[in-house]
Structure 1
Amino acid sequence: MKQLSVIGLDQKKAEQLGDKLNELLSNYQVFYMNVRGFHWNIKGERFFELHAKFEETYDDLLLKIDEIAERILTLGQRPQHAYSTYIKNSEIEEVKDVHDGRACVANILDSYQTTIRLQREILEISDEAGDEGTNALMSDYIKEQEKTAWMLTSYMGN
């Protein structure tokens, strides 16, 4: 007999998903702080436009951070919560002292590329585990971020 989590998932798969979601959480936390820094430090002719866009972006990232942590808890796992852990476990690197709008947007695009790839990996694991809750969350994030990445790519003229 398989050991099941509180929500009826195989315990080993729930642990695997918790680990992968914690990896995603680390990336989101570093991504969030980078965009916060972009918002505070942006300069140049597109200041007003990008300042507002960066605020919209970090507000969205903060919401997702909370949803990911709560999903980890729902799976019976513990969300990581130390910045030292986030820095260590994140593929997205901390960015310092960036104030050029194009450089900020390019970094955001790179970060979306990372989160979308990780979310697709989680989607495969959650699908195999029969975890519809995580599936729905990742599918929604992917759909939204693919559109945002397209728009930012268009903004960059690519």
Structure 2
Amino acid sequence: MANINIGIEENARIEIAQGLKHLLADSYTLYLQTHNFHWNVTGPQFRELHLMFEEHYTELATAVDDIAERIRTLGVAAPGTYKAFAQLSSIEEVDGVPSANEMIVILTASHEAVVRTCRQALKLAQEAEDESSAALISDRMREHEKTAWMLRAML
């Protein structure tokens, strides 16, 4: 890639991109987890949860693209394999099909994990005065905090 001169030192760009890689991995893993639960939820809350999970994974599909594109903007390759995401993500994969209530508990914890990843990445962006990355991360953090709150309210 050509020389990048956007006012952020190369080392800082690489460090911020690394934080964003973790956020991308968490977001993609959460996308997959949410989609899985959308397909497999059963019980009295089926319709409500099925539709809510669809809203969540649709929003996450846009988010992963935004995060990956920001990583590329910083001049770093974005991870794009399950292997890479598994190594970078703080979200544990779920075996089997949990009950609807367990799905809500698991998704709440996963959204909270993404918030913690956002907080770590946000510090890196703020230290480098990278407002574009900070804004993206802050927006993602706010979305995951709100979603975790809504999920907790269902328990």
TM bucket (normalised to shorter chain) is: over 0.9
CA distance in 1, matches of 2:11, 2:125: 12
* Structure 1 length-normalised TM: 0.92
Corresponding residue for residue 80 of structure 1: 79
Corresponding residue for residue 26 of structure 1: 25
Corresponding residue for residue 42 of structure 2: 43
Residues 44-64 of structure 1: per-residue CA shift (max 9 Å, x gap): 110000000000011111111
Residues 57-80 of structure 1: per-residue CA shift (max 9 Å, x gap): 111111110000000001111101
Q: Post-superposition, which runs of at least 4 consecutive aligned residues in structure 1 deviate over 4 A?
A: none
**Aligned pairs for 1:129-144 within 5 A:** 129-144=128-143
Q: 1:133 to 1:126 in 2, by over 3 A?
A: same
Q: Is the 8 A contact 2:12 2:128 kept in 1?
A: yes
Q: Please state how far the C-alpha of 1:133 moved relative to its aligned partner.
A: 0.3
Corresponding residue for residue 115 of structure 1: 114
Corresponding residue for residue 90 of structure 1: 89
Q: Which runs of 5+ in 2 are unaligned?
A: none
Q: Which runs of 5+ in 1 are unaligned?
A: none
Work out the number of aligned pairs and report it.
Answer: 153
CA distance in 2, matches of 1:97, 1:44: 16
Quick one: percent identity of the two aligned structures? 37
* Structure 2 length-normalised TM: 0.93
Residues 69-113 of structure 1: per-residue CA shift (max 9 Å, x gap): 000001111101111111122110111322411111111111111
**Aligned pairs for 1:62-77 within 5 A:** 62-77=61-76
Q: What is the aligned-residue RMSD (CA, Å)? A: 1.3
Q: Is the 8 A contact 1:112 1:145 kept in 2?
A: yes
CA distance in 2, matches of 1:148, 1:26: 18
